[in-house]
Amino acid sequence: MTNALDTVKEKYELVVGLEVHVQLSTASKIFSTDSAGFGAGPNENVSPVSLGLPGTLPKLNKKVVEYAIKMGLATNCGINTHTHFDRKHYFYADLPKGFQTTQDSEPICKSGYIDIQTANQTKSRIRIYRIHMEDDAGKSMHDQDEHDSLIDLNRAGVPLIEIVSEPDIRSAAEAAAYLNEIRKLVKYLDICDGNMEEGSIRCDANISIRLKGAIEYGNRCEVKNLNSIRNLQRAIDHEFVRQVGIIEAGGHVEQNTLNFDAETGSTSPLRKKEMANDYRYFPEPDLQPLVLSEEYINEIAASIPELPAEKISRYTSEFGLSEYDASLISAEKETAEYFDALASHTAHYKSAANWMNGPVRSHLNEQGKTITDLSIKPYDLAGLIALIEAGKLNYSVAAQKVFPEMIAKPCVSAEAAAIELEVLIDTADDELSSIIEEVLGSYPDKVKEYQNGKKGVLGLFMGDIMKKSKGKINPQEASKLVVEKLEHKS
C-alpha cells in the first residue's frame, strides 16, 4: 500500500510559497505610543489609536521603517524610495478599526532572495516577492470563559513586516530551512527576538501541487498561523498527500484557507480563500506617502552587522573551518559572537570550533541553556585550548574533568584547574616507559598478535596506559613510544 502511494506521489511536484509575519522589537506600536511589549495583562497596552476610536489619527513609528529596510537589504531586496500605506478591509472581532493598515501596491521592499541549505546539504535560492509593513490585529481567546470569547487588544497595532516568497519551495525541508534562515536574520539584525512560541514569527503556507514538468500552478490552499518550524513541515507534508489524493480520485482542489491541528497533524477548512478585491484596498488617507532618500538607506545599510552567510565565508576562508562547522557556529548570533571573541585569543581556530561544537554545545544542550549562560569566558576557554595544543593536557581529560571544573568555578583558569585536579602532563620519560612495559607485559598474546599484523590491538594497550597514568601523558607521544617498543620486542 505504501509503495503504491509513493509511486503515485512521484508523479507530482510540491509547490509552496510562504508568508512570514515578523513582529518587530520596537518599544512602541507602529502608529501609536502604546507599549509593544509582550506579557502585559489583558488590554493594558491600549489607547484611543489602537482601539480604533473615531477621530484618532495614526503617526508612523520611524523605527519600523528602519527595521523593514534592514530586512530588505539583508535579503537582497530593492528598496522602494516612494511608498505608501493602504487600508485592507475585513471583519474580525479582534480588528477594532475594521481594517488593517498595510501596504498593497507599493511595498517598501521587493524582488530579493535568500539562499538556503537543507539538512542534507542541498542548496537552493528562494526568491522574495515583497516585504511590507503593517499593523497586527488583537487576539481572540476562546478557552478563557465557559460561555464567551474574550478579546485582548494588546497586540493590536504591534508592528509587523510580512515577507512574501515566490512559490519556489519544493519540499517541507526547504520550507524549514527558509523559515530558519529568516529567524536567524531577524535575530542577527536585532529587529525581532525570533520567538515563535510567543508569536514573534508566524507563518502562512500557500501549498499546491502539479504534475512534474507542468508549467501552470495548481489551486493553492493557505494554511494559517503555523507557529513552529516542525508544524510547518507537518502541514506541508499533510497537504501534499491530501491534494494528491483528491486529484488522483478525479476531484478538484478548492482554493481554501485552512487551519492546522497540531494534535492530529491534519488541516481543516476555515473559509473560502479571499481574493485581493475582497479586501477593498485603497490608500490610507490619514498617512502621508513615505519618501526615502538614498542617503538614509545607505546609513541603514552601513549599520547592518556581519550576517550568517558572511560569517560562514569568513570562517571557512580565514580560519580554515569546514562549512559544516562554520554553519553550526553561525546559526545563533550569540554563539558566533562568543566564537569571534574566542578566536581573538587563540590561533588554533579548528580546535576552537571543535570545542564550540563539541563539549560546549553538549553541556549547553544537557543543561537546556544558551551560550550567554556559559560561565567560562572566551579568554579562559582559549587558555584550555592552549594547554592541549602545547601538549600539557590530554584532550579527553580536558573535556571530562577540567572543563566541568572551570564551569563550576568560573574564576579558576584552565591551568589552575588542571593543577588542582593533578592532570597536567608531567610524567617523566622513564616513568612512562615503565608504565608501557608493565602494560605490554600483561598482554603477551596481544603483543604477538600485533607483531603478526593485527595493529588494532594498539588501542587496547593505549587504553590501559591512559588509565595507569591517569591521563597525565601525551597520547601521541605515548603511542609512538608503544609502537617503538612493540617493533623491537622479540
DSSP H or E stretch at residue 323 = helix 323-330
C-alpha cell at position 156: 493590536
d(CA 77, CA 165): 12
Cα separation of 354 and 64, whole Å? 39
Q: What is the pLDDT along the chain (490 residues), one digit of tens a residue?
A: 456 667 777 899 999 999 999 999 999 999 999 999 888 889 999 999 999 999 999 999 999 999 999 999 999 999 999 999 999 998 888 899 999 999 998 999 999 999 998 888 788 999 999 999 999 999 888 878 888 889 999 999 999 999 999 999 999 999 999 999 999 999 999 999 998 888 899 999 999 999 998 999 999 999 998 989 999 999 999 999 999 999 999 999 998 899 999 889 999 888 665 555 678 999 999 999 999 999 999 999 999 999 999 999 999 999 999 999 999 999 999 999 999 999 999 999 999 999 999 999 999 999 999 999 999 999 999 999 999 998 888 888 899 999 999 999 988 899 999 989 888 876 555 566 777 777 777 777 777 777 777 777 777 777 777 776 766 666 766 777 777 767 666 5
Place of cell 602494560: 439
Q: Indicate the CATH number for domain 429-488.
A: 1.10.10.410
Q: How far apart are CA 44 and CA 37, in angstroms?
A: 11
- DSSP assignment letter at 98: S
Residue with cell 550567554: 372
Q: Which helix (H) or strand (E) holds 301?
A: helix 294-302
- Provide the residue ranges of all domains of the chain, joining segments of one domain with +: 2-297, 306-421, 429-488
b/e for 451-464, b at 16 or more Cβ within 10 A? eeeeeebeeebbeb
What pTM, to 2 d.p., does this model score? 0.84
Rama region for 146: left / alpha / beta (φ>0; ψ in -120 to 50; rest): alpha
Locate 438 and state its grid cell. 608493565
Q: How many helices (H) and strands (E) does the chain have?
A: 18, 16
Q: Grid coordinates representing 211?
A: 504534475
* Cell numbers linked to 454: 593485527
CA 307 to chain centre: 13
